[in-house]
């Protein structure tokens, strides 16, 4: 019972009168003060216990990450011994990583006193909401599963996708994205959903690749000599597979040039080196053999006035 009094302007006012004026009984005020006193008296102990639990939780999280790494390494080694596809290894490793970390967080939360069933129910509801909000990302996961099951390409294959024209060597098939390494050592990240729903070209389905090159020569040049030069250069390069045949032909008669064609087979890893070196050497041989490579020509007609003012004289200048 609160019995103190306050003197104001010579009139004594008790604490009970003040509490009654604000609508609180003395018993309620005493109870509230007692609860507050107990709370602040127990606060240091509660903070200490919470700090200890937090430190233990951080230690358990650190220990759990180490165990997750060990489990992932063990699973990866077992898949390598089973000679599983590299894409499947990477995809399953990503899913295993996400699943184990989710279990670790749920276990640590339950250690803090959260009910596991309630937590799983909340996570399930949140998962449904997130799934509706992230339909595009989930389609990437579905696309990744389709890529691994149907196997239109594998890690190490050189592919060309028709959506944006990206091409390169497949270096990783992840949970959401597939990574390509281009010729100029750039990394292209493509969504799995896009790759699963677009057409693409896989260069590495066969170990060899046909090289098709076209060159233009002038109409004044000797076609037989041009074909001879192109054939000699192709046969002199050991990287070009002569056993698969080398075809040199006239592809078309265009407006300002005769288009010559070459078709030959090379191994996939030699394709670009052979192509670039062949074009360079052919340019040099054409120059030495007097075979002209045409380029655009422009006829300019100039109109000038005669000195006597009697009309216009047309002058024609041909620029090459």
Q: What share of the chain is helix, strand, coil (3-state, %, to 5)?
A: 55, 25, 25
Cβ distance 284 to 212 under 8 Å?
no
Cβ distance 294 to 257 under 8 Å?
yes
Percent share of the chain, pLDDT over 90: 26
- φ, ψ of residue 255 in degrees (nearest 5): -60, -40
**Integer Cα distance of 245 and 210 in angstroms:** 10
pLDDT tens digits, 238-258: 999 999 999 999 999 988 899
**Integer Cα distance of 76 and 66 in angstroms:** 15
Cβ distance 208 to 223 under 8 Å?
no
- φ, ψ of residue 40 in degrees (nearest 5): -70, -30
Looking at the structure, give the CATH architecture of the domain made up of residues 207-288: 2-Layer Sandwich (3.30)
Q: What is the pTM of this model?
A: 0.51
**Integer Cα distance of 281 and 241 in angstroms:** 18
Which of the following CATH numbers is that of domain 84-205: 2.30.30.60, 3.40.50.620, 3.40.50.300, 2.60.40.10? 2.30.30.60
What residue ranges do the domains of the chain occupy?
5-67, 84-205, 207-288
pLDDT tens digits, 295-313: 876 667 677 655 555 544 4
Identical fold for domains 84-205 and 207-288, yes or no, is no
**Integer Cα distance of 262 and 251 in angstroms:** 9
**Integer Cα distance of 279 and 270 in angstroms:** 14
**Is 133 a residue whose pLDDT tops 60?**
no
């Amino acid at each position: 019972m609160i019995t103190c009094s306050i003197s104001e302007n010579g009139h004594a006012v008790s604490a009970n009168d003040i509490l009654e004026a604000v609508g609180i009984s003395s018993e309620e005020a005493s109870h509230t003060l007692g609860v507050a006193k107990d709370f602040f008296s127990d606060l240091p102990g509660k903070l200490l216990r919470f700090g200890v639990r937090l430190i233990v939780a951080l230690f358990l999280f650190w220990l759990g990450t180490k165990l997750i790494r060990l489990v992932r390494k063990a699973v990866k080694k077992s898949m390598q011994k089973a000679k599983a596809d590299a894409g499947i290894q990477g995809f399953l490793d990503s899913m295993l990583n996400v699943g184990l970390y989710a279990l670790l967080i749920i276990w640590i939360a339950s250690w803090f006193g959260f009910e596991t069933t309630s937590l799983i129910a909340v996570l399930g509801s949140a998962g449904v909401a997130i799934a509706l909000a992230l339909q595009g990302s989930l389609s990437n996961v579905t696309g990744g599963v389709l890529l691994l099951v149907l196997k239109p390409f594998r890690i190490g294959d050189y592919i060309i996708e028709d959506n944006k024209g990206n091409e390169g060597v497949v270096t990783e098939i992840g949970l959401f994205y597939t990574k390509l390494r281009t010729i100029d050592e750039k990394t292209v990240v493509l969504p799995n959903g896009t790759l699963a729903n677009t057409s693409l070209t896989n260069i590495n389905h066969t170990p060899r690749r046909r090289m098709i090159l076209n060159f233009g020569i002038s109409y004044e040049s000797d076609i037989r000599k041009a074909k001879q030069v192109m054939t000699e250069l192709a046969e002199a390069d050991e990287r070009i597979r002569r056993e698969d045949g080398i075809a040199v032909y006239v592809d078309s008669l265009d407006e300002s040039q005769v288009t010559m064609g070459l078709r030959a087979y090379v191994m996939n890893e030699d394709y670009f080196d052979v192509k670039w070196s062949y074009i360079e050497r052919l340019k040099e041989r054409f120059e030495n053999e007097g075979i002209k490579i045409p380029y655009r020509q422009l006829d300019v007609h100039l109109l000038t006035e005669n000195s006597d003012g009697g009309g216009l004289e047309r002058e024609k200048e041909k620029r090459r």
